[in-house]
A and B are shown apart, each in its own frame.
Chain A
Amino acid sequence: MKILICITMLMAAAASRDLMTHRAASAQSFASALSDSAPADLADARQEVAAQRAVRFASVDVMIDTKDLPLAVYQLEFSATKEIVKIVGIEGSSHEAFREAPHYDPQAIQRERVILAAFNTAAADKLPRGKVRIATIHLQITGDVEPVYQVNASVIATVDGKPIDAAVTVQTTRAPL
């Protein structure tokens, strides 16, 4: 099942302030890199600090909207522009039923793709309905260009295996202070 891909960019009002803070933080990172990372020589140190300045971190929430049906199982594939994105963490759902951080396929993640899957066989009233954040993907992004995200769902179903015609979306945010 291929689900509609909807990319919602939630650039918070704090984004511009965030960018400034980011630059300030980069200046702070200068000292940090020097004292902690043991550069082999000055050139390495410069390179390292430059690299730290060039990256930023952001998170992408993966949302599933099941409308009224209880979500018991899902499997989906998330990918982002490989050249500028590195996946640095995968967080579980805001809903208790899927709070555990989902497992991922280690071979896929080398290509900055995540195949996420989880199931919960609890009673229907313990499972999420409607729009729920099912996972959050934590990313390191190089440069100021916004990556393109894509999400494909192959399984979204109820506890008795009935497919759900759900909407899958992603929302990005930059880290506020």
Chain B
Amino acid sequence: MKTQMKMYVSCALFALLMNLIGLIIAGCGSMPMSRDAATVGQSTARHTETASPVIRFPLGAIDPTGKGGGLLSVSRPGEELWVIAKPVVINEDRNNATTPGTGALVIEQPRDPLHPDGEKITVPIPLKHTNVKAKIQAYIATVDVTQQFQNPYDSKIEAVYVFPLPENAAINEFVMTIGERKIRGIIREREEAEQIYLAARSQGHNAALMTQERPNIFTQKVANIEPGKQIDIQIRYFHTLAYADGWYEFHFPMVVGPRYNPAATAAGTGIGAVGRNKSGLSGQTTEVAYLRPTERSGHDISLSVDLDAGVQVEEMLCNSHQITRSNNNGRSQVAIAAQDTIPNKDFVLRYRVAGDTIKSNLLVHRDSRGGFFTLMLYPPRDLRHLPRRPMEMVFVLDCSGSMSGYPIEQSKRAIRHALQNMNGQDTFQIINFSNSATQLGDRPLAVNEANVRRAMAYVDALQGEGGTEMITGIKAAFDFPQSEGRQRVVTFLTDGYIGNEAEILGEMHKRMGPARVFSFGIGSSVNRYLMESMARVGRGAVAYIGPNDSGPEIMDHFFQRISKPALTDIELDLGSMKTRDVFPRRVPDLFVGRPVLLVGRFEGEPPGQIEVRGMAGNERVAMKVNVQAMQHDASATVNGQAIGGIPAVWARMQIQSLSDQMTHTQDHQGELAGVIKQVAIDYSLMSAYTAFVAVDSSRRTEGAVGTTVPVPVPVPAGVKYETTVQE
């Protein structure tokens, strides 16, 4: 926080400086302008709010004595003087404005900030509605998201919206709709797409650009939306559903939680969290603007799920939202109820299918490119008789400001339950971190009544405040000698609201040794990319505890999972089916209640039975597993090439696997980056190195380039604005 404060002060000083320059230039406005002066005038006449992290400004041009010279004197005759201004400047003038242009359609009325639950100010924003339609077939979801952008102002705008999607989403369709016209976007290398977009925007064309900031955070830009006009962006993605402890889970994230960027985060690489109309304040290239507690926007969301599980759905549960449900021809239709349409929390739908019908499942798909498969491999029941090794349990609790309130209370309930259910032969430790890390004892404690009582008191006293210096928690969790003869199991309980994921994962990989990591995502809009990645890197598993979930119940599942040895060093024999390019490269360990998902290419015929070999504790085991081979719906084809899910899911998992390697090596521009780029382009997929761009070249809008307007979003349900958002 201290660093962020410093950054704030620096930004404010810079803004002041730039205002001064603005005044100098304004003063020149009435003078006959030379070419140089005219250029300066153009470049400063319209600042926009788009984040512009790199600034080159001829500071030497400013005469601090005020005795003459000044800005314009730096350029000699015949030279151009270019002033590249940070967009913060204009925001200082517009902090309380509701409109980007000249006219205000809505007047902001003062409200009592001490009573945020009272009547709220309606803020006009350029995103009217989001519509989500999901279709689930077996364990693959096809999701269509339509974002309806509109311009509620009286001048032209560019809308910028930072939004989340599932971290494993294979995004491969992008369509811009203007009136009845539908323009399909093209996947391009990211820089190329950005250049195309900028050129189209500057020439007045309607254009849209979608880029990836994290595997679960994206930026949508829509240029030159004229007053009163609407432009829709439709995105299609595929993803595999999670399965845990008997339940399938479909989730759709609705808002990016406010990220904390530690002091060491490289400039511009984090994700900023700022108040509405405070763009540029965080110093990050990607910024999320949040509505204040006293504000609301008209943006709402509708979401429906068409579920074809293939077998009878026995039970369905949605703890996140009120839903309506109907059944039709063996399919279930679920929709968010009309009274629960504020997009401020993840939608999480869980369902359980008929008891004994769960078995390992092979989905195959063939097209002109060859065969693709996904294999959901369930843990064999035979593992359940095997005893486990004694453990060293390390609970790491995030006590930062974003956890303040019910998230930390949920975490504490879960830890208390865990403390009461530990095995007498285990040891334990509790570590909490915010600005720094502290811990219960200087070494792991034995599980006995006195130590558990002491731990309970320690946990009771914890509160959420301060920054999220997660690295300190990582170091504290791994940087001490491991107890001999015990398996170290580290559980992280956090909302994951940090902007330096790559650094966290890199450190974890470097330090974890033989430990296993289990991550618990706490809250209504968890950073699932971080949680899933931590579990993957840590060879453990992930679980989520939402506001209405039972922490103790989920902790029970965790204990069941670790109470039996995982099946490790797994090898598969798929008989006559010849496989290649299987991801993940190394088959993850199998835990009780947790299947693993493999994807790959194949030739030959899918078998009815496969052999699984591995180690359970010190025992070598081999077992036959029956598989159901199903042909995924491949009816939608173009040129004989499927536009269906499995090839896209395969390509997406390949990208994920390569990205993990990249995180471990911390090389983000090397050979791996090139491979990711090529896979993404070949399969028309969004990635860190590719982007979708769509331009309507048939028409130009009138007037100058529109003002950039970030779409402000509510803070996630249960998260406090005051402790998480920069003002």
Contact A104 B184 (CB under 8 A): yes
> Chain A, 36-53, contact with B by CB distance < 8 Å: what is the 0/1 string?
111111100110100110
Q: Roughly how many angstroms separate A88 CA and B208 CA in the complex, as a whole number? A: 10
Nearest B residue to A100, CB-CB: B182
Nearest A residue to B208, CB-CB: A89
- Cβ of A121 < 8 Å from any Cβ of B? no
Stretch at the interface among A1-9, A19-27, A123-131, A143-151: A19-27
Residue from B192, B285, B697, B700 whose CB has the most chain A CB atoms within 10 Å: B697
Nearest B residue to A27, CB-CB: B42
Contact A57 B205 (CB under 8 A): yes
Which of B185, B199, B285, B683 sits near A140, CB closer than 8 Å? B199
Which of A30, A35, A75, A136 sits near B639, CB closer than 8 Å? A75
Contact B42 A88 (CB under 8 A): no
Contact A175 B205 (CB under 8 A): yes
Contact B56 A41 (CB under 8 A): yes
Q: How far is the CB of B578 from chain A (nearest CB, A)?
A: 24
> Chain B, 129-153, contact with A by CB distance < 8 Å: what is the 0/1 string?
0000000000000000000000000
Stretch at the interface among A64-72, A109-117, A160-168: A109-117
Contact A103 B643 (CB under 8 A): yes
Stretch at the interface among B43-51, B547-555, B586-594: B43-51
Contact B682 A106 (CB under 8 A): yes
For B682, the chain A residues whose CB sits under 8 A away are: 106-107
Contact B681 A110 (CB under 8 A): yes
Stretch at the interface among B117-125, B295-303, B620-628, B688-696: B688-696
Which of B184, B285, B643, B683 sits near A38, CB closer than 8 Å? B285
> Chain A, 76-107, contact with B by CB distance < 8 Å: what is the 0/1 string?
00000000001111111000000111111111
Nearest B residue to A28, CB-CB: B704
- Cβ of A59 < 8 Å from any Cβ of B? yes
> Chain B, 629-666, contact with A by CB distance < 8 Å: what is the 0/1 string?
00000000011010100000000000000000000000
Which of A34, A87, A177 sits near B702, CB closer than 8 Å? A177
Q: A34-B85, A35-B50, A35-B87 are in contact. Are A140 and B39 (CB under 8 A)?
A: no
Nearest A residue to B640, CB-CB: A117
User: Of residues 184 to 221 in B, which have CB atoms within 8 Å of A's CB atoms?
Assistant: 184-188, 192, 194-196, 198-205, 207
Contact A48 B697 (CB under 8 A): no
Q: A31-B42, A35-B85 are in contact. Are A57 and B695 (CB under 8 A)?
A: yes
- Cβ of B400 < 8 Å from any Cβ of A? no
Q: Roughly how many angstroms separate A146 CA and B361 CA in the complex, as a whole number? A: 54
Q: A86-B196, A89-B183 are in contact. Are A45 and B84 (CB under 8 A)?
A: yes
Contact B43 A35 (CB under 8 A): yes
- Cβ of B708 < 8 Å from any Cβ of A? yes
For B705, the chain A residues whose CB sits under 8 A away are: 28-29, 31-32
For A175, the chain B residues whose CB sits under 8 A away are: 205, 697-700
- Cβ of A139 < 8 Å from any Cβ of B? yes
Q: A34-B85, A89-B186, A91-B184 are in contact. Are A138 and B56 (CB under 8 A)?
A: no
Stretch at the interface among B173-181, B430-438, B464-472, B595-603: B173-181
Q: Roughly how many angstroms separate A117 CA and B637 CA in the complex, as a whole number? A: 9
- Cβ of B53 < 8 Å from any Cβ of A? yes
Contact A139 B204 (CB under 8 A): no
Interface residues on A, range: 35 or more
- Cβ of A132 < 8 Å from any Cβ of B? no
- Cβ of B269 < 8 Å from any Cβ of A? no
Which of B48, B683, B704 sits near A106, CB closer than 8 Å? B683
Q: Roughly how many angstroms separate A115 CA and B182 CA in the complex, as a whole number? A: 17
Contact A31 B43 (CB under 8 A): yes
Nearest A residue to B192, CB-CB: A86
- Cβ of B568 < 8 Å from any Cβ of A? no
Contact A51 B195 (CB under 8 A): yes
Which of B43, B641, B693, B698 sits near A173, CB closer than 8 Å? B698
- Cβ of A159 < 8 Å from any Cβ of B? no
Q: A88-B695, A99-B180 are in contact. Are A52 and B198 (CB under 8 A)?
A: yes
- Cβ of B358 < 8 Å from any Cβ of A? no
Q: Roughly how many angstroms separate A115 CA and B641 CA in the complex, as a whole number? A: 12
Contact A89 B56 (CB under 8 A): no
Q: How far is the CB of B725 from chain A (nearest CB, A)?
A: 23
Contact A87 B641 (CB under 8 A): no
- Cβ of B684 < 8 Å from any Cβ of A? yes
For A45, the chain B residues whose CB sits under 8 A away are: 56, 82, 84
Q: How far is the CB of A168 from chain B (nearest CB, A)?
A: 17
Contact B51 A38 (CB under 8 A): yes
Nearest A residue to B52, CB-CB: A38
Contact B183 A138 (CB under 8 A): yes
- Cβ of B54 < 8 Å from any Cβ of A? yes
Which of A36, A40, A88, A101 sits near B196, CB closer than 8 Å? A88
Contact A140 B198 (CB under 8 A): no
Contact B697 A88 (CB under 8 A): yes
Q: A37-B198, A57-B203 are in contact. Are A89 and B696 (CB under 8 A)?
A: yes
For A117, the chain B residues whose CB sits under 8 A away are: 638-639
Contact B698 A136 (CB under 8 A): yes
Q: How far is the CB of A138 from chain B (nearest CB, A)?
A: 4
For A36, the chain B residues whose CB sits under 8 A away are: 48, 50, 52, 87, 198, 708
Q: Roughly how many angstroms separate A28 CA and B199 CA in the complex, as a whole number? A: 11
Contact A32 B186 (CB under 8 A): no
For A88, the chain B residues whose CB sits under 8 A away are: 186, 196, 200, 207, 693-695, 697
Q: A59-B697, A88-B695, A105-B638 are in contact. Are A40 and B183 (CB under 8 A)?
A: no
Contact B198 A92 (CB under 8 A): no
Contact A115 B639 (CB under 8 A): yes
Contact B697 A40 (CB under 8 A): no
Q: Roughly how many angstroms separate A28 CA and B202 CA in the complex, as a whole number? A: 7
Q: How far is the CB of A117 from chain B (nearest CB, A)?
A: 5
For A107, the chain B residues whose CB sits under 8 A away are: 681-682
Which of B47, B87, B184, B202 sits near A103, CB closer than 8 Å? B184
Q: Roughly how many angstroms separate A59 CA and B697 CA in the complex, as a whole number? A: 6
Contact A90 B195 (CB under 8 A): no
Q: Roughly how many angstroms separate A99 CA and B684 CA in the complex, as a whole number? A: 21
User: Of residues 20 to 61 in B, which have CB atoms within 8 Å of A's CB atoms?
Assistant: 39, 42-48, 50-54, 56
Which of A32, A48, A87, A139 sits near B201, CB closer than 8 Å? A32
Q: Roughly how many angstroms separate A140 CA and B50 CA in the complex, as a whole number? A: 24
Q: Roughly how many angstroms separate A91 CA and B200 CA in the complex, as a whole number? A: 16
Q: A101-B175, A138-B698 are in contact. Are A92 and B182 (CB under 8 A)?
A: yes
Subset of 21 A-B contacts with CB under 8 Å: A22-B203, A28-B704, A29-B202, A29-B705, A31-B44, A32-B48, A32-B198, A36-B48, A36-B87, A38-B52, A38-B54, A51-B195, A57-B205, A89-B183, A89-B695, A91-B182, A91-B184, A91-B698, A107-B682, A138-B183, A139-B697
A contact set with B: CB distance below 8 Å: 21-22, 25-42, 45-46, 48, 51-52, 55-59, 75, 86-92, 99-107, 109-110, 115, 117, 136, 138-140, 173, 175-177
**8 closest residue pairs by CB, A with B:** A29-B202, A57-B697, A101-B184, A106-B684, A88-B695, A138-B697, A89-B183, A59-B698
B contact set with A: CB distance below 8 Å: 39, 42-48, 50-54, 56, 82-85, 87, 175-176, 180-188, 192, 194-196, 198-205, 207, 285, 638-639, 641, 643, 681-684, 693-700, 702, 704-705, 708
Q: A88-B196, A102-B184 are in contact. List 17 more A-B contacts (CB 8 A).
A: A25-B202, A26-B203, A29-B198, A29-B202, A30-B39, A31-B43, A32-B198, A32-B202, A35-B48, A36-B48, A38-B51, A38-B53, A89-B695, A90-B184, A91-B696, A115-B639, A175-B697
